[in-house]
Amino acid sequence: MPKRDGARPGADAGLAGFGRYAGPATLILSSLADGPKHGYALTKDVEEFAGVRLAPGTLYEALARLESQGMIEALEAEDRRRPYRLTAAGATALQAHLDAQRRVTETGLRRLKANWGTV
Amino acid sequence: MRLLRWYPKAWRNRYGEEFAEFLIADIEERPQSAERTLDVARAGLLARLAVAGLAEPHVAWQPDPGRRVQVSLGMLCGALTACLALAAAMWSQLAIAREWTLPAPATPPTTRAMLVMSAAVLAFLVLIVLAVAPVGYAIARNRNIRLLGPLLVLAAAVSLLAFGGHHFLYQWPGSGGHGEDGTLFPVVPAGIQAFAWSLTYWFSVHWFWLSAGLGGWEVAWITASPLALAAAAAAAATLVRRADLSPRLLAYETRLGAAACAVMGVFLGGCGYWVYVGRPPGLAHAGQIDIAAAILLALALAAAYQAQRTALRGLHLVRG
């Protein structure tokens, strides 16, 4: 279980302010929820569980925003590769975001089943 | 690694090594990828905009939020100076052309445009005074040696502009002053028109320069005045970036910046009316150079607006 510390006081608890980076940020936080990872390991993990390949520029833009919001923190570099770790603020934000996504998913699936019988 | 060059130095200092490692691994897996190149170029250019104070005040690799606001305000200062220079060039041309055509039959579109543009320029000058006074006071209290260089450059550039502008005030064919005998009806005092025009000869008399030939001093002035203007803008922006300004003053300047953008938008509206709707014949006719100036003014205003928005977002961070 990763240590939950390093949360910046007053950090944004949500991903709403991330705009077009909300998608990559969610994928990154979901990946880091499993433990610290460096950039390349992150993209491979995301590709595996989401089928999405994060491009290098996009990945580091999202990492910089997450770090500035205190949702992740950088650890000591290992052989020029720097791992990132989820913070308590990041876990809270991810939980809130995924809960909202789940409500949307459940509502959509329920309505599809009721009206289209596709589920 | 060439791809890293898209990013500014501050970003490379923070992420350069790990990003290079990432790219090496990615390139091993996908040797050729236009998507990767485009994505890195886009992200790198955005990072450069952030360094210039035009985007993203909230990324981890930039220094403290207060300084980021000052960088944005410095960019705002530079962009608004460019707006003012272009506005002065167009306004003084139209003012003098209109004066020369009076008391010929009235040209209502030109007069309406002139009034809107004059009111906007006046309001802009008032905003400059309101903005410069507290910053000047703060700089005087700072007594920071790093401010001395830009202060000297600013003083030299402004002195050159004031001296040159005054020297060429009435020494140019068609410049202001002819309304002083009372036979004409200038919207604003002829001396002010002439001063604004003499400051912007580099813009307004390019055709004259090419077609008629000018003396050595005139060519020197046309060459030196835009450089002096650029130096003044750069020095002022540097002062805003380097001075120790309180969060309260930063908020005040950011609000003034919003007002200045709005005022310049009004000027652009009047200018657009003149260029696209009025199209008066004769001296006050808007030519291609005026259309080009209006487009440049719109671009400078867009940069100023973006810098103001970035400063505002940065202020929210400063306040927590």
- Is there a domain that residue B177 lies in? yes
Q: Compute the distance between CA of residue B16 and CA of residue A86 in angstroms, rounded to an integer.
A: 22
Are both B212 and B297 inside the same structural domain? yes
Report yes or no: B256 and B307 within 8 Å, Cβ to Cβ.
Answer: no
Secondary structure class of B257 (helix, strand, coil): helix
Q: CB–CB of A39 and B21 under 8 A? A: yes
Please tell me if residue A48 touches chain B, with a CB cutoff of 8 Å: no
Contacts of B15 in chain A (CB under 8 A): 60, 64
* Contact with chain A for residue B316, Cβ under 8 A: no
| Residues A75, A85 contacting (CB under 8 angstroms) | yes
Residues B36 and B80 both lie in one domain: no
Please name which of B225, B194, B182 lies closest in space to residue B95, comparing C-alpha atoms: B194
Taking contacts as CB-CB distances below 8 angstroms, the residues of chain A near B21 are 38-40, 79-81
Q: Do B41 and B184 share a structural domain? A: no
Domains and CATH numbers, chain A: 16-93 (1.10.10.10)
Task: Give the closest residue to B110 by CA, choosing from B273, B265, B232.
Answer: B273
A8 by Cβ neighbours in 10 Å (0-12 / 13-18 / 19+) ranks as middle
- Give yes or no: residues B169 and B206 share one domain: yes
Residue B56 near residue B69 (C-beta atoms within 8 A): no
Cβ contact, residue pair A39, B22, below 8 Å: yes
B101 with B162, same domain: the answer is yes
B184 within some domain: yes
Indicate the pairing of strand A72-74 with strand A84-86: antiparallel
Q: Do B40 and A57 touch (CB under 8 A)?
A: yes
How big is chain A, counted in residues?
119
Tell whether B64 lies on the interface with A, counting CB pairs under 8 A: no
**Residue closest to B253 by CA, chosen among B268, B263, B240, B266:** B240
pLDDT tens track of chain A, all 119 residues?
A: 444 444 444 344 577 777 778 889 999 999 999 999 999 999 999 999 999 999 999 999 999 889 888 899 999 888 888 999 999 999 999 999 999 999 999 999 999 989 888 65
Shortest CA distance from A42: residue in chain B = B22
B320/A contact by beta carbon, under 8 A: yes
Q: Which residue of A has its CA nearest to B44?
A: A57
- The pLDDT tens digits for B285-313 are 667 777 888 899 999 999 999 999 999 98
Q: Give the range of the structural domain holding residue B42, as residue numbers without chain letter.
A: 2-51
Please compute Rg for chain B using Cα positions.
Answer: 23
Closest C-alpha among B98, B58, B55, B77 to residue B190:
B98
Are B85 and B27 in the same domain? no
Same domain? For B19 and B87 the reply is no
ipTM for this prediction: 0.80
Choose among B22, B40, B320: nearest Cβ to A10. Answer: B320
Stated pTM of the model: 0.76
